[in-house]
């Protein structure tokens, strides 16, 4: 127990330099890029431009801007003022747009595990039958079908065709359905495929034959014996799964007009809203690092043979 605590602490402390490095890289990539946030179509008179630059600290040398921003972000969790939304801080924008994204991502994660795992188990159990082949086809299609096509098909059928669900916006409970289905599609396919292959491996081992021989019911063998042992590879994909949900959210939130983090991230990159890009990137960093840590902890819990401290080479 104490080892677990120390390990978690070590990993959390190790995340700080990673985030620092990430923030620094992103900062310089943004500042060194050609074109600035305020040289759009509208040309400001020089004195107005100077006033704007002074207000946002853009008149300082780049390294100075870097120290100012990094100090505020890492010591006060203050990400600065948004360039594109006048008078709003990045913190406000994040507080505002994180909940829809988390809800969307969380539901999609639940859905992809909740359907993907049983589907993989079923396919492995009925290996070689039509059920298995259709599961495999679905899994391959799932990774080959870009999510905007999933979204288009869902909207065409359920919103425009049948009129059951809203095609976009985020104003009633039913508007959650299509975005979540879109977002969950790819992770679900990945989950099903992975569970299938590790289940097939587990089902061919000796303890399964023993369990069958001593008369354990099929359901018990599948879910109690085999699934438990094939969960480890499943847990290790939680990290990549979280990553694919983040990526998916950019598109899903744009397509369905959801005021979430992903939509703001894309908008901020397009409009050169540097503080917003930095803030959202760091939030993504925190989410993804936590997902990876959680996956490692779950792995150790599921299989005590995995030694946490030796995990990191």
Query: According to CB under 8 A, which one of 243, 294, 302, 308 is a site residue for another protein?
Result: 243
SS3 state at 89:
strand
Using CB under 8 A, which residues numbered 136 to 195 contact another protein? 140-141, 143-146, 148-149, 151-152, 155-156, 160, 190, 193-194
Of 127, 290, 145, the C-alpha closest to 195 is: 127
Residues 6 or more apart in contact with residue 239 via CB below 8 angstroms: 288, 291, 292, 295
Number of residues that bind another protein (CB under 8 A): 51
Output b/e per residue, 174-200; b: 16+ Cβ within 10 A.
Answer: ebbbbbbbbbbbbbbbbbbbbbbbbbb
Which stretch in 90-98, 127-135, 224-232, 237-245 sits in contact with another protein by CB under 8 A?
237-245
- Distance (Å, whole) CA 6 – CA 307: 13
- Distance (Å, whole) CA 284 – CA 22: 11
Using CB under 8 A, which residues numbered 8 to 27 contact another protein? 18, 21-22, 26
Q: Are 180 and 115 in contact (CB under 8 A)?
A: no
Question: Does 207 interact with another protein (rule: CB under 8 A)?
Answer: no
Question: Does 62 interact with another protein (rule: CB under 8 A)?
Answer: no
Choice between 175 and 221, CB closer to another protein: 175
Across-strand partners of 89?
Answer: 81
Q: Nearest approach, Cβ of 241 to another protein (angstroms)?
A: 8
Beta strands in the chain (DSSP E): none
Question: Does 256 interact with another protein (rule: CB under 8 A)?
Answer: no
Question: Does 200 interact with another protein (rule: CB under 8 A)?
Answer: no
Q: Nearest approach, Cβ of 309 to another protein (angstroms)?
A: 16
Choice between 139 and 176, CB closer to another protein: 139
Q: Are 234 and 195 in contact (CB under 8 A)?
A: yes
What is the torsion angle, in degrees rounded to the nearest 10, for the CA atoms of residue 211, residue 216, residue 220 and residue 222?
40
- Distance (Å, whole) CA 255 – CA 263: 9
Question: Does 36 interact with another protein (rule: CB under 8 A)?
Answer: no
Using CB under 8 A, list all residues that contact another protein: 18, 21-22, 26, 29-30, 32-34, 140-141, 143-146, 148-149, 151-152, 155-156, 160, 190, 193-194, 237, 239-244, 246-247, 250-251, 254-255, 265-266, 269-270, 272, 277, 281, 284-285, 288-289, 292, 313
């Amino acid at each position: 127990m104490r080892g677990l605590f120390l390990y978690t602490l070590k990993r959390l402390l190790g995340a700080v330099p990673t985030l620092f490095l990430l923030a620094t890289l992103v900062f310089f990539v943004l500042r060194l890029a050609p074109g600035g946030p305020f040289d759009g179509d509208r040309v400001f008179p020089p004195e107005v431009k100077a006033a704007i630059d002074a207000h946002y600290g853009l008149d300082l040398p780049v390294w100075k801007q870097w120290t100012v921003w990094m100090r505020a972000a890492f010591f006060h969790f203050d990400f600065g003022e948004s360039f594109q939304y006048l008078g709003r801080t990045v913190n406000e924008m994040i507080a505002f747009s994180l909940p829809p994204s988390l809800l969307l991502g969380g539901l999609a994660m639940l859905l992809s595990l909740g359907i993907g795992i049983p589907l993989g188990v079923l396919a492995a159990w009925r290996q070689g039958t039509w059920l298995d082949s259709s599961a495999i086809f679905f899994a391959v299609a799932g990774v080959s079908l870009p999510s905007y096509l999933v979204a288009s098909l869902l909207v065409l059928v359920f919103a425009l065709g049948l009129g059951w669900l809203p095609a976009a916006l985020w104003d009633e409970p039913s508007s959650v359905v299509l975005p979540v289905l879109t977002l969950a599609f790819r992770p679900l396919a990945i989950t099903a495929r992975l569970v299938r292959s590790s289940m097939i491996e587990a089902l061919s081992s000796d303890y399964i034959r023993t369990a069958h021989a001593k008369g354990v019911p099929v359901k018990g063998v599948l879910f109690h014996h085999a699934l438990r042992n094939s969960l480890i590879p499943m847990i290790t994909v939680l990290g990549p799964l979280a990553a694919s949900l983040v990526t998916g959210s950019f598109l899903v939130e744009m397509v369905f007009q959801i005021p979430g983090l992903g939509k703001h991230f894309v908008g901020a990159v397009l409009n050169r809203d540097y503080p917003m890009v930095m803030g959202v990137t760091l939030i993504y960093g925190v989410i993804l690092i936590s997902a990876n840590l959680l996956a490692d902890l779950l792995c150790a819990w599921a299989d005590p043979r995995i030694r946490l401290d030796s995990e990191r080479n």
